[in-house]
Amino acid sequence: MVWLQKLFTKTGSDDNLEANNYERDWVSLDPEKFGNTKIYFSTHEQIDLYELEELCDSVGWARRPLRKVRKALEHSYLVVSAWEVKGTKKTMIGFARATSDHAFNATIWDVVIHPRFQNKGLGKVLMKYMIRKLRSDDISNVTLFADPQVVDFYRRLGFILDPEGIKGMFWYPD
Ligand SMILES: CC(C)(COP(=O)(O)OP(=O)(O)OC[C@H]1O[C@@H](n2cnc3c(N)ncnc32)[C@H](O)[C@@H]1OP(=O)(O)O)[C@@H](O)C(=O)NCCC(=O)NCCS
């Protein structure tokens, strides 16, 4: 069982973890599953593209050109990263982003939890966090494209396949 706790960090020097004025949402973790690990979510944290690539590598995703990944992040409506903190070192252990028309619709992409942290409830908390952020902006239609092996993960979060028979359709260049 994991749950969220909201805290705010203050400004400090540039070199340590308290350096940023970012809002960090610390995840309260079950010590039985996480030991004394500390994890927070952020919508503001600077994303190092190489670190993101490593995270995507860790789950076996195909590499994408970094310049396109950068552009995709820049044009995303919401980017959430999850960070493990050990002493003064932080490591990105989760990620998800959403694109949106800012009014009605958002689509969630690139949901990933590092294998070391999978099956502990963190993916669920990350998704709920995304949905809460989108709902707080009054966005009511949240969609995503699920790989076949994770359909049930999203189902458990309330996502529905083909609501009212509506089908997702794709066009690819020849
Ligand atoms: C999919 C992913 C984000 C899930 O994160 P996670 O932290 O391991 O998932 P959680 O531990 O929060 O699981 C939440 C629930 O979903 C279930 N679940 C997790 N992965 C599942 C899967 N692949 N299929 C079905 N159910 C799954 C868990 O058993 C748990 O069930 P419960 O609430 O009844 O206990 C993670 O496994 C991952 O990063 N996978 C590789 C990347 C990927 O496939 N991303 C999705 C692309 S569409």
- Do residues 22 and 45 make contact, with C-beta atoms less than 8 angstroms apart? yes
Pocket around ligand 1 at a 6 A CB cut-off: 59, 111-113, 118-124, 146-147, 149-150, 152-153, 156
pLDDT at residue 5 tops 70: no
Least confident of 11-20, 59-68, 127-136: 11-20
Stated as kind and residue range, the H or E segment containing 55 is: helix 49-58
Which residue out of 3, 145, 153 has the highest number of ligand 1 atoms within 8 Å of its CB and is therefore the one to mutate? Answer: 153
Beta strands in the chain (DSSP E): 3-8, 23-28, 38-42, 78-86, 89-100, 105-113, 141-144
Annotation says 154 is catalytic: yes
CA of 26 to the centre of ligand 1 (A): 20
CA of 6 to the centre of ligand 1 (A): 24
Gyration radius of the chain over CA positions: 17
What are the structural domains, with CATH classification, of the chain? 3-144 (3.40.630.30)
Query: Among residues 60, 48, 61, 58, which one has the least CA distance to residue 116?
Result: 58
CA of 73 to the centre of ligand 1 (A): 23
C-alpha to C-alpha distance for 37 and 52, rounded to whole angstroms? 20
The pLDDT, as a whole number, for residue 3 is 58
Give the mean pLDDT of the chain.
Answer: 90
Which is the catalytic residue, given 77, 129, 154, 172?
154
Coil/strand/helix, residue 129: helix
Give the confidence band of 23 by pLDDT, cuts at 50, 70, 90.
confident
Tens-digit pLDDT profile for residues 31-76: 998 988 999 999 999 999 999 999 999 999 999 999 999 999 999 9
Tens-digit pLDDT profile for residues 71-102: 999 999 999 999 999 989 999 999 999 999 99
Query: Among residues 59, 32, 170, 167, which one has the least CA distance to residue 116?
Result: 59
